Structure 1
């Protein structure tokens, strides 16, 4: 691998007479390295937020779909045609139970352009983009992980509840934008908070626990939609928003703040109380202020290494050349993965397969995909995993576009393999990003990568709507080409396996210098 010192900023290296930077990672490992019930409770509570995040992300698969219809005039209407706009008025009608089961039938959008039909879903993803850029920095600066998670869940639940009372496609799209705006920070806060509440050994499994929560949320959608089949699409928003609001009370009363973030912010006493609440009982008596006296005070660090204001975390990422390089690469990879992860389920209505079963199969496929990622990430190199997963997703996405009787029978299988490998790639990428950046900018870095994922999803609804209008699966071909090209950039990233989490930018740069000079005995191969 190339010498990483080439990507360091122009800051002067630490001089011998300067106080050496001491990591908080080893201190926290001594406190919470042994996984206990208290940490499991916190990880499960935080990871539940992914459930509601997934519901709002994929709810449009059902609320914005084309409902069933039938011919009323057998002379002017031919059953089985896919082009309603080419049929004379009065020759067809929505099925009685489907009249208001979708925004398409309620507001007469069957002949609208792909841009209008994809507007609500695209508005949601645009809201995610803007919300992620604005809200993420608050988790690294003033609000912290826990408070931003609570605010985001509460606001997303309220906006989703109000969406059920939309009276036009434009109001509906605007409310979906608001919902996406507040939803943007949930997954990032949950992932970072859960992994910072446990020791290094359990970082990967706990991160995957959150992604399993997302799977449960995704899987609950076809069940909720099936129970409410033939009824108004508004009921889906009620069924998903009210539990999300109830969950907020659990976050407020039971979830603790990240001790790493508290220490970085200089709130040592609060960090000690948090560690006491989640550490094994035998460790709690020794957790006093004197125990952390060997940890360098934040006042000893260069101000550039601290998240001291609303914009500093993102500024740090752009000021350091190595950080910007890493962020650019993982963002490009995330864009490609996001197009597959968000686009594949939205395009299920274009396949000749039952929509409820198709969504259920996609949701079920996330379980083995996440478990496979959890296993792979503890054994293999992150770069190699991502390269293989994106390549496999590319092949099977392109296979979905094959025409003819033999191939169309396997379309659903091809779609499942492509989506499943894309899901695994998403899991690996998020854990990889956590390890590439230090504590002071970690939440912002993960958030920006998630925005790249969402940016890929933003284009998906329009591509799917265009494919629906042509009666083909061209969108799957686009998804495959994009993830394949973007995945190749993974080869440019450094390896992080077996490495410790750094807390400051200077500490990360010091580790890079030591690796380049051979002071680290073994490369950061993922062990």
Structure 2
């Protein structure tokens, strides 16, 4: 549909003080910024409801830390068996698992002596599912389904597949179900992040985004507690305890979560967007309608086929280059961000305490990001935290197993750097791309994070023999990938654009002015 321009009526809108300094008509983002910038109670409730989905996302992402771990064991025949023996060289009558033999999939299906590939297959399958689901479903949030419906679809798929996982009888069925769980989970983080970003004004954008990260950590934090309570039970109890609440939450999404008004406007669904904005602002209906009718809205010219937004990205060289740079950075960050927690069993610490320390570490990273994000240079922060994480990861390998306390401290320092880089990367991505491709671009970056995580389980398993194959590789990869941040523009304090053309026009003007 062609672009339409409406002359602003002489009304309350004329006194709203949101017209541009260059006398051009205000953009949709500027009008919604004016109407939603106060961040009322309705917006706060929406942010909390949307962020709750990250609790269940965090649980399914890191549940394999406990369900796929190698349990402790003890000797039965002390004459031939020692505590430091390799039980793969012992007969079944010489040793036994501590507790129930169905405590984890390793003990139930006798995978303790299997290859690192087999032992890491379920976790790798989960992240492969995240990649597949991201590519297959992400563009639907920008094209036809929207943010809310895709969020609901993802939650339903993830929760019911996680529940079905308890009926697995071997590692192949288990890995397949973990793959499908990953497919469902793939769009949850992206949809929730974009909804949080688009439902608040620019002043609250960064802080609202951090809220989703905090809830993700709460989900991760709940796992050690749930696992400890069920430490005498089968690994299936963990899936039961985490899937049932997620199924109940799906009803909350359906009845209580609102769609993004920005996305509705770009789809030509003004009445639905107006109904949502009425709940966000105290402006009366007549003034609200006049304000929004004064905006020159470009209706969505992107077709609604599955990969329409990806095609739009490929047509713009600048957008494609920026997206590829972010994906390379995401690959390195994902390898460390997900790899470190998955490898906590290799640290020689109590697995429950180790997982708890890793989860707790994310809390200060979110609070620091929350308070400094509005004053933070995105490009410099992303580069600095990536390299910092890489340095500490390499030091983990250098220290080795001689001083476990120091190694644990270095692991936490490396994970902290990766957490900060992860936070900045996702906020940076939502700011760098316009509304009509924002969900797809953010999803692509998240798929790069998941792609890095695919290699982590096998590297962690191999790291039991050679530490360089885990911590050394982690450090080198995240440091080198972080260097790609130097290729990106700065977005601190910038406005959110609605279309690629609008963003390209603004970038061209800035280049001409600086020339």
TM-score range, shorter chain: over 0.9
For residues 166-177 of structure 1, what are the structure 2 equivalents within 5 Å? 166-177=168-179
Contact 2:131 2:451 (8 Å CA) reproduced = yes
Contact 1:401 1:474 (8 Å CA) reproduced = no
Q: How far apart are the structure 1 equivalents of 2:491 and 2:437? A: 17
Contact 1:47 1:190 (8 Å CA) reproduced = yes
- Equivalent position to 1:94, from 59, 84, 97: 97
In the alignment, which residue of structure 2 is the partner of 1:4? Answer: none
In the alignment, which residue of structure 2 is the partner of 1:120? Answer: 122
In the alignment, which residue of structure 1 is the partner of 2:291? Answer: 291
Deviation at 1:403, TM superposition (A): 4.0
Contact 1:21 1:507 (8 Å CA) reproduced = no
For residues 125-524 of structure 1, what are the structure 2 equivalents within 5 Å? 125-279=127-281, 281=282, 283-286=283-286, 288-299=288-299, 303=301, 306=302, 308-403=304-399, 407-468=403-464, 470=465, 472=467, 474-518=469-513
Shift of the 404–175 alpha-carbon distance from structure 1 to 2, 3 Å rule, reads closer
Contact 2:400 2:407 (8 Å CA) reproduced = no
Deviation at 1:309, TM superposition (A): 3.2
Contact 1:402 1:408 (8 Å CA) reproduced = no
In the alignment, which residue of structure 1 is the partner of 2:72? Answer: 68
Determine helix, strand or coil for the equivalent of 2:336. helix
Q: How far apart are the structure 2 equivalents of 1:143 and 1:296? A: 24
Q: How far apart are the structure 2 equivalents of 1:415 and 1:160? A: 30
Which segment drifts farther, 446-455 or 403-412? 403-412
Deviation at 1:313, TM superposition (A): 0.8
Deviation at 1:471, TM superposition (A): 6.6
Contact 1:272 1:287 (8 Å CA) reproduced = no
Q: How far apart are the structure 1 equivalents of 2:361 and 2:167? A: 33
Determine helix, strand or coil for the equivalent of 2:78. coil
Contact 1:400 1:473 (8 Å CA) reproduced = no
Deviation at 1:373, TM superposition (A): 2.0
Deviation at 1:374, TM superposition (A): 2.4
Q: CA RMSD in A?
A: 1.6
Q: Which runs of 5+ in 1 are unaligned?
A: 1-19, 521-527
- Superposed CA deviations along residues 228-264 of structure 1, whole A, max 9, x for unmatched, are 0021000000000001111111111110000000000
Contact 2:207 2:373 (8 Å CA) reproduced = no
- Equivalent position to 2:36, from 20, 32, 48: 32
- Superposed CA deviations along residues 327-376 of structure 1, whole A, max 9, x for unmatched, are 00000000000000100011111111111001000100000011122233
Determine helix, strand or coil for the equivalent of 1:93. strand
Q: Which runs of 5+ in 2 are unaligned?
A: 1-23
Deviation at 1:33, TM superposition (A): 1.1
Deviation at 1:143, TM superposition (A): 0.5
Q: How far apart are the structure 2 equivalents of 1:174 and 1:158? A: 14
- Superposed CA deviations along residues 269-327 of structure 1, whole A, max 9, x for unmatched, are 00000101222x2x24345443322222435x7x3xx3643221111111100000000
Determine helix, strand or coil for the equivalent of 1:400. helix
Contact 1:131 1:184 (8 Å CA) reproduced = yes
Contact 1:269 1:289 (8 Å CA) reproduced = no
- Equivalent position to 2:57, from 53, 63, 75: 53
Q: How far apart are the structure 2 equivalents of 1:387 and 1:372? A: 17
Q: How far apart are the structure 2 equivalents of 1:270 and 1:405? A: 59
Deviation at 1:400, TM superposition (A): 0.9
Contact 1:158 1:245 (8 Å CA) reproduced = yes
Q: How far apart are the structure 2 equivalents of 1:487 and 1:375? A: 23
Q: How far apart are the structure 2 equivalents of 1:156 and 1:345? A: 21
Contact 2:399 2:407 (8 Å CA) reproduced = no
Determine helix, strand or coil for the equivalent of 1:518. helix
Q: How far apart are the structure 1 equivalents of 2:37 and 2:92? A: 69
| TM-score, structure 1 normalization | 0.91
Deviation at 1:126, TM superposition (A): 0.4
